[in-house]
Every structure is written in C-alpha cells, then in structure tokens.
Chain A
Amino acid sequence: MVERRPTLGLLAHAVLIIGVLIVAFPVYVAFVASTHTADTLIHSPMPLLPGAHFVDNYIGALQGGTMGSGSKAAVGQMMLVSLITALVIAIGKIAISLLSAFAIVYFRFPFRMLFFWSIFVTLMLPVEVRIGPTYKVVADLHMLNTYAGLTVPLIASATATFLFRQFFLTVPEELLEAARMDGAGPMRFFFDVLLPLSVTSMAALFVIQFIYGWNQYLWPLLVTTDESMYPVVIGIKRMIAGGETQTDWNLVMSTAILAMIPPTLVVMLMQKWFVKGLVDTEK
C-alpha cells in the first residue's frame, strides 16, 4: 500500500475476514450439507463440519439424483443450457448497453432523455407481472423452446446502460478532443478509446449478468416445454419437495454446489480485468 500502517492493515484483514465469514457462511453451510447424508441433515442442529459422503453425493448429483429416473435432463445437459443462456445474455446485454450509453452520453438528438428514461423504466415492472403477455409475444414470434426465446427477452438492461452512462461521464473531455483532432470518427473513438477504458466496468457487469442469466428459473420454466431445454436451477428446484415427500437435501446441496462452479470460475477469471492503473497509463 501507500505507506506502512500495520494497525490499519490488521484492521482491514480483520474486517475482511469477519465479512467473509458472515457473507460466505451460507455457502459454507451448503457445502457442508452436500457432504453428509440426508438423514444427518434433518436432525437439528446440522453439523458444522464436513462429513464423509462427499464422493457419494456428488456422483449422485451428476447422475441426476432424485430428479426422476425418467427425467431426460441430466445435470450436464442442464449446465450446458445454463451456460449458453448465461453467455448470450451477458454478452448481449453488455454489447447493446455500450452502444446505447454511448449514444445517450456523447450525442445530442431529439428525445435523447426520453430514451434514457424509457430504458430506465424497464427496471420498474417486476417480471412476474408482465410474464403472461411477454410469453404471448414470444409464442407469437415462434420463439418457444429456443435459445432465442430464452435469452432475447432478457437482454434489455437498464443496469448496464446506466452504469456505462456513469462511467462515460467520468471520461475526460480531452480524450474526445484529442481523438477529433486526430481526425477520428465517432466509432473509431468508441472502439479505440472508450472500450479499453471501460474494461473494468465490463468485467463487473459480465459477472453480474452472467450470474443473472445462469440463475434464471421462472422464464425458462414458462418458455420451454421440452425438458432438455431446462437450465440447471429448474433441476435443483424440482428436487426440493414442496411438502408432500421428503427431500434429499444432501443431493440438492451437492447439485447446487456443482451449479455454482461456473459462476465461481467467472468471478475468479474476471478479477484479471480489475486492473488498477489502466486509466493512469491511458491518460
């Protein structure tokens, strides 16, 4: 760090460790639960240390557990659907939001603010309320049971547009002036100057939107009738008994942990893009 301040450094670590303990505790519980038998878990309180059934449970989860012997969707298949959905949504959202934010911040044209607010308003109506009519639109466009149907309706994102707007507003004016003097057109400015600067924001958004796409439950449930198009969260949910039978909690948790591996990888890989000082050298 900038200077040596041992007590501050110690405080930082202490706070962070407590933070991790509190915030990550539920995840830890899920992991512990995935290493015991269902029996152990039902008798409260459940143990806090991992058990001995790690291998059994994870193999069980990979083979489809209690999702039904006749179920066509094995975990691998569902993870693939989730992966494609998550990637398309994340990349799609970032791409179109970059363009929209660029237009709104850097250009002057009629109805400019109207566009911004219309994009913003899309955050203000919960999906469940408009899900019926949205389904009808998708059905009319013959997009049921397709990846397009799973992803395109979810691609409009006010969050990403808003974040990019915030970021673009902080970009120094001199950069644009310099680009203009070099004779660069708008799109050249966009690709050569703005995009590289936006890498950190894009990385953060990619994590969030990937996870958002990965954890989709309700929309895929409605839009697909072909169980082989079900993403992984539906698979997890259908192992959780609503009350008429027993749930194999150990298998539920092991599937849930498996389902968290791709997002975890995304989080870890993305940190490479959290590069400090990128802005320094550009300026």
Chain B
Amino acid sequence: MKFEVFTPALLTAAALFTLPAQAQIEVQWWHSMVAVNGEWVNDLAKEFNASQKDYKVVPVFKGNYDESMTAAIAAFRAGNAPHILQVFEVGTATMMASKGAVVPVGQVMKDAGYKFDPGVYIPAVAGYYTAPNGQMLSFPFNSSTTVFYVNKDAFKSAGLDTTQLPTSWPEVALAAAKLKAAGHKCPFTTAWQGWTQLESFSAWHNVELATKRNGLAGLDARLVSNSPLHVRHIENLSNMAKQGLFVYKGRGNVPEASFVSGECAMITTSSGFYGNVKKNAKFAFGLAPLPHYPDVPGAPQNTVIGGASLWVMSGKKPAEYKGVATFFDFLSRPDVQSASHKRTGYLPITTAAYQLTEKSGFYKENPGADTAVNQMIRKTTDKSRGIRLGNYVQIRTIEDEELELVWGGKKTPKEALDSIVKRGNELLERFEKANKG
C-alpha cells in the first residue's frame, strides 16, 4: 500500500531531479569594445541569445585591454574568471604561457563535438593564434592589419597622380617631396610605429623580426630587428624626417587625428581606421597596400594582424564550455562574419565570409575596403605567419621609445635598432625563464 504511493512519488521526484535544468546556462564574456564596437558586441550576443534557448552570453565591458587583463587575472586568482576573455594580440604569449589558466579553442570545440577545420580560416589571420602543432589557441575576433591611406585631394593639389597611389617606399618619398614643395606641412606620418614600421614591415618583406619564426616556434626566440633591411628602412624614414617629409605625430593611434583633419596627407595605420576616415574626412581619400621595397625578394608577402582574439578560461563546467563552443560556432558563420566585417571594418576570418562579402558588392561600393583582406589572403611563410613574443607589451614600448629618439635626432637608426634588440632580448630571456615551468 505504502509502496504503491511511495514508488510513483519517488519516481516522480527522481524524474524532476534528473530533468535538465530549465535555467539557461550563462556564459560570461569580458570585452574591451567601446563606442560603436561596444554596440556591435552587444548585438552579437543578443542575436545569439535569441537564436537558441540553452545558453545566454552576457557581455561585460571591462575597460581597455590592460584593465580587462588585470580584472581577469584578479578574478582568476580569486576563482571567478569569466568564460571568454578578449585579449589583444600582444598578449598572446602571456596567455599561452599561463598553463592551466586557459583552454585552447580547438580543444573546446572538439570536446563539444564541433567539427573544427582550421582550413576554412584565412591563413594570416588564424595562423597568429595557432600553436606550432596546428591547434587553434584562441578565436580571432576583431582583427585588423596595416594599410596605407592617402589624401587624394592633397595629391591633386601637388600635381600627383591619384589613380596610381605609391606602392613602394621610394615612391612615397618622392610623393612626400612633391607635397612639401606644394606647401603641405606634413606629407607623411605613421601610427602604431612599432607595428607598422617594424613588425608588419618584416612580414610584408618576408624577413624575420625575431628568430624561431618570430617566436611561434619557441620561447627562446630573440629579436633580429636590426638587420640591414630594417636599418635601411629606419634610415630612410629618419632622412625623410630631417627633410620634413615625415612628421612624427605620436604613439599609438594618436596620429590618426592628423590625417582626418587634413593635416597629414599620407598615413600608415590600421585597417580599422577606415570607418573613421569614411565618416569624418572632408576630402577624397584612397586606400592602398602597405608600401614595400621592390628590390627585396619575396616582397610583398603578407602583413601581420593587430586587434584581439577570444580566449577561453579554465576551471568551468563542461556544460558551460559547450555553450562557449556553440557561441564560437555561431560567430564563425559566413553570414555573421560578413555582417560584422561590413559593419566594423574588421577582417573577416574565414574565406567563405570574404567571398560572401565580395558577392554582395560591398567592395564595389566601398573601394579600398578589400585592401586589407587582400594583404592577408595569401599563403603565409614561416617568417610571415605571425609574431608571438613574451613581454610583447614592453617590447612595443621599447620600440616607441627608441624610434622617438631617432626622430628627435638623438640616436642613429643603427644605435636605436641595436638598443631595441638588446633591451628586448633581456625581456625575452626573462620571460623564458619565468615560464619554463
């Protein structure tokens, strides 16, 4: 009797307990996207959440890249790291070296049962975030690369041809001279000087910036950015600076303002700058690939990406990782990629997305918007796949400091580059030592 009532009740109770939880699994995503890109992040999450019921991605703005790194480190050490963390490209080595703190994306996808084919990704984009054994470590999210912007109206006023933009550094110098003669106070400038003039420059010319495939093959990589080619290039820029053809306008992206305002006629900087120029420039402008030296064999090869990728933190439950994998799968869809690319100017990460965008006529309507992609869609070589160095943030700063001394006339290019190599290698040694374990 009691049994009759008991067992069904027990069975029902058991059933209720073993039913999958109706509550959604939350996936915390810490990012550093501001302004309109912040809206893009929120919209992506909204779209994903609306498309399925099992998982809810919650994007949280955690300051700029330094701040969100610090927040993530503090949270990790306290036991409540987010699931997904957006980390900029120079932090890749740091993330990789923190064994136990991250789970490779390739692994997360595999464990969740998703077929993960690295071949669908654009080589130069995905290669940066891939381990030597081919496993993808982090998910490329917002990638940009170095391109060359030209103020076409300024060119016209100096009598320069606007249909054939300069493709080589000698041509840039010539154009700058003509611009100066026509009265332009700032013919050429550059933003992100370490990235554009040393790092991407190296890959574009298929020479190493550092040994061991620029660090991709091991922690014992050392800088070789004082090679004759590098010295030659910085000397050229230094001479241009002395003649007033190249005007230094600051670190990071600060110089970009001087292009938009019309002050500087040519600038090498990130492809992400495109949206800003399109919206705010009151002059006709053109995009061209990064200039190169035609006499260097193998140039132009491909450029190096900037931007950030998404890392997966360790210590979470398998069901939550499944949510992460589902979200990444969503982000990889060609239509989602294509829409993001069109909206933000960031590079599409799969060839399918690129083709989809091309089919839609986007590049016809926005001439120059495919320059960046074209620079990346080549087959990479061992010397151009990407850069991964420890203490990279500090190395970038050293590059800034030493180059400033060159532009200010306080050091010769050779001295500065030698100093970069010396100081940078000290840091690399320290990083290697600290992360042997």
- Give the B-binding residues of A (Cβ under 8 A): 38-39, 42-44, 66-71, 128, 131-132, 135-136, 139-140, 144, 218, 221-222, 225, 227, 234, 237-248
Contacts and interface: CB of A to CB of B under 8 A. Distances in A.
A262 B253 CA distance: 33
B80 A139 contact: yes
B280 A39 contact: yes
A225 B60 contact: yes
A43 B282 contact: yes
A136 B34 contact: no
Contact of A70 (B45, B260, B263, B273): B45
Contacts of A218: 63, 67
A157 B309 CA distance: 40
Given A39-B280, A69-B43, A246-B279, A221 B36 contact: no
A238 B61 contact: yes
A69 B257 CA distance: 26
A245 B275 contact: yes
Nearest to A137: B78
A257 B61 CA distance: 22
A133 to B, nearest CB: 8
User: A66, A68, A132, A234: which has the most chain B beta carbons within 10 Å?
Assistant: A68
Residue of A42, A131, A247 with highest tally of chain B CB at under 10 A: A42
A209 B43 CA distance: 38
Contacts of B32: 242
A153 B41 CA distance: 32
A44 B261 contact: yes
A246 B37 CA distance: 10
A246 B61 contact: no
Interface in B66-118: 67, 70-71, 73-75, 77-80, 82
Nearest to A39: B280
B286 to A, nearest CB: 19
Query: At the interface, is chain A mostly helix, strand, loop or mixed?
Result: loop
B242 to A, nearest CB: 25
Contacts of B144: 244
A178 B73 CA distance: 57
Contact of A221 (B67, B79, B344): B67
A237 B63 contact: yes
Contact of B262 (A43, A221, A222, A245): A43
A269 B80 CA distance: 43
29 contacts: A38-B280, A42-B260, A44-B261, A66-B38, A70-B39, A70-B59, A71-B39, A131-B74, A135-B75, A136-B74, A136-B78, A218-B67, A221-B62, A222-B75, A225-B28, A225-B82, A237-B34, A238-B34, A238-B38, A238-B61, A240-B35, A242-B65, A244-B142, A244-B144, A244-B272, A245-B37, A245-B344, A246-B36, A248-B35
A257 to B, nearest CB: 18
A241 B78 contact: no
A71 B46 CA distance: 11
Given A70-B43, A221-B71, A44 B276 contact: no
3 A-B pairs closest in CB distance: A70-B42, A243-B253, A135-B74
A243 B307 CA distance: 10
Given A44-B263, A245-B344, 17 more contacts: A39-B280, A42-B257, A43-B261, A67-B38, A68-B39, A69-B42, A70-B59, A132-B73, A135-B78, A139-B80, A221-B67, A234-B61, A243-B253, A243-B272, A245-B37, A245-B272, A246-B280
A244 B64 CA distance: 12
Given A42-B261, A135-B75, A66 B42 contact: no
A242 B272 CA distance: 11
Contacts of B71: 221-222
B270 interface: yes
A241 B65 CA distance: 12
Contact of B35 (A42, A66, A136, A139): A66
A71 B270 contact: no
Contacts of B38: 66-68, 71, 238
B60 A227 contact: yes
B199 interface: no
B257 A131 contact: no
A242 B307 CA distance: 11
B399 interface: no
A246 B257 contact: no
A144 B71 CA distance: 13
Interface in B262-290: 262-263, 270, 272-273, 275-276, 279-280, 282
Contacts of B344: 245
B270 A243 contact: yes
Contact of A139 (B37, B42, B78): B78
A67 B59 CA distance: 13
A227 B61 contact: yes
Contacts of A67: 38
A237 B263 CA distance: 27
B252 interface: yes
Given A70-B43, A221-B62, A242 B67 contact: no
A204 to B, nearest CB: 31
Contacts of B77: 132, 136
| Interface hub of B42, B252, B275, B344 (most chain A Cβ within 10 A) | B42
